[in-house]
């Protein structure tokens, strides 16, 4: 049986890694260098990373309290709420984009957001909301698991030693759920980097990397879009792996 399992696993692993390797290794050094000098590409990659990071930080502030409430308390409608939070991971991304557009793209809200300097359609705010809508569940669910694993007795003891509920949350609960929270942030951030379907409906410009790759493919063909795609993947993977490595190394107790 073990042999069969190894063969079946090998098929899947090859399928998952081969396209990435082909993309990254199939491009000449020259075209890498040329693409790296293309400021539009670099700007777009950094914009993608920055906006996804902003979305992640926003969900960190609002999502940690939510995850904690779900992990710690039983309340009416809790399982319904949990199902709602998972919906974004199931819907087609373009459908999510349409829903966001219908909600925040209306004259009034668009006008209000523009008046406070944010905007929605064709703005980074719109991109951020698309990323946030579709990726927030990854952070929320991971943090929820982390909080569930923090023994309530630690919380009780901290309170008996004089820490308020909020101080206990900051000084005891978060440090002990840190590993799951950071992993959740990484997951959300990485998912945000790849967001295309919802973003393209709300904001074609400013161009984030996935839109740029699509744009170059449609207008100039494969040879112009492939290097952008490869560089985006390499950058993301480097950042992802190094944070995950640091997280595992320093959060072992």
Partner 1 sequence: MENNFLEIKDLFLKKGKFKLNILSLDVEKNEYFVLLGKTGSGKTLLLESIAGFQKIEGEIIFEGRNITNLAPEKRNFGFLYQDFALFPHLNAEQNIRFSEKYHKKNEKLFNDLINFLQIENLLKRNIKNLSGGEKQRIALARAVYSQPKLLLLDEPLSAVDPTMRNEIMKNLKELPQRYGLSVIHVTHNFREASYLADKLGIILKGTLLQTGETDHVLKNPNSIEVAKFLGFKNLFKIPLLGFENSHKYFSIDPNQITIAKTPINNDYCFEGIIEEIMGITDHYKLFVNVNGNQFFIKTPKNIFEKLNIKKTEKIFICFNKKDIVFI
Interacting residue ranges for partner 1, rule: CB under 8 A = 151, 153-154, 156-165, 167, 171-172, 175-176, 178, 253
**Residue 64 is inside which H or E element, if any?**
helix 39-72
Take residue 149 and report the two structure tokens written for it: 């694993």
Contacts for 92 with CB less than 8 Å, ≥ 6 apart? 197
Whichever of 17 and 165 has its CB closer to partner 1, that residue is 165
Q: How far apart are CA 221 and CA 31, in angstroms?
A: 14
DSSP state, 207? P
Answer for the pair 185, 138: CB distance below 8 angstroms, yes or no: no
Residue (30 or 151) nearer to partner 1, CB: 151
What phi and psi values does residue 67 have, to the nearest 5 degrees? -60, -40
**Smallest gap, in angstroms, from Cβ of residue 227 to partner 1?**
44
Nearest to 201 by CA among 220, 188, 214: 214
For residues 86 and 167, which CB has a smaller minimum distance to partner 1 in the complex? Answer: 167
**Which of 2/252 has CB closer to partner 1?**
252
């Amino acid at each position: 049986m073990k042999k069969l399992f190894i063969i079946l696993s090998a098929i899947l692993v090859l399928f998952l890694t081969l396209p990435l390797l082909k993309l990254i290794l199939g491009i000449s050094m020259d075209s890498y260098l040329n693409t790296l000098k293309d400021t539009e590409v670099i700007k777009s990659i950094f914009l993608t990373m920055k906006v996804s990071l902003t979305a992640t930080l926003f969900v960190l502030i609002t999502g940690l309290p939510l995850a904690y409430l779900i992990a710690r308390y039983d309340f009416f409608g809790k399982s319904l709420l949990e199902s709602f939070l998972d919906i974004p991971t199931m819907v087609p991304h373009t459908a999510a984009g349409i829903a966001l557009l219908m909600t925040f793209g209306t004259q009034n809200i668009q006008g209000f957001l523009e008046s406070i300097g944010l905007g929605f359609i064709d703005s980074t705010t719109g991109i951020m909301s698309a990323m946030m809508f579709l990726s927030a569940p990854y952070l929320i669910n991971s943090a929820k698991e982390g909080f569930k694993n923090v023994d309530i007795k630690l919380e009780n003891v901290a309170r008996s030693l004089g820490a308020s509920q909020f101080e206990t949350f900051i000084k005891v609960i978060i440090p002990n759920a840190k590993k799951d929270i950071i992993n959740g942030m990484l997951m959300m951030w990485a998912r945000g980097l790849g967001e295309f379907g919802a973003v393209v409906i709300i904001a074609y410009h400013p161009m984030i990397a996935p839109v740029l790759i699509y744009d170059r493919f449609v207008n100039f063909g494969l040879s112009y879009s492939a290097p952008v795609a490869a560089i985006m993947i390499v950058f993301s993977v480097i950042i992802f792996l190094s944070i995950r490595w640091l997280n595992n190394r320093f959060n072992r107790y």
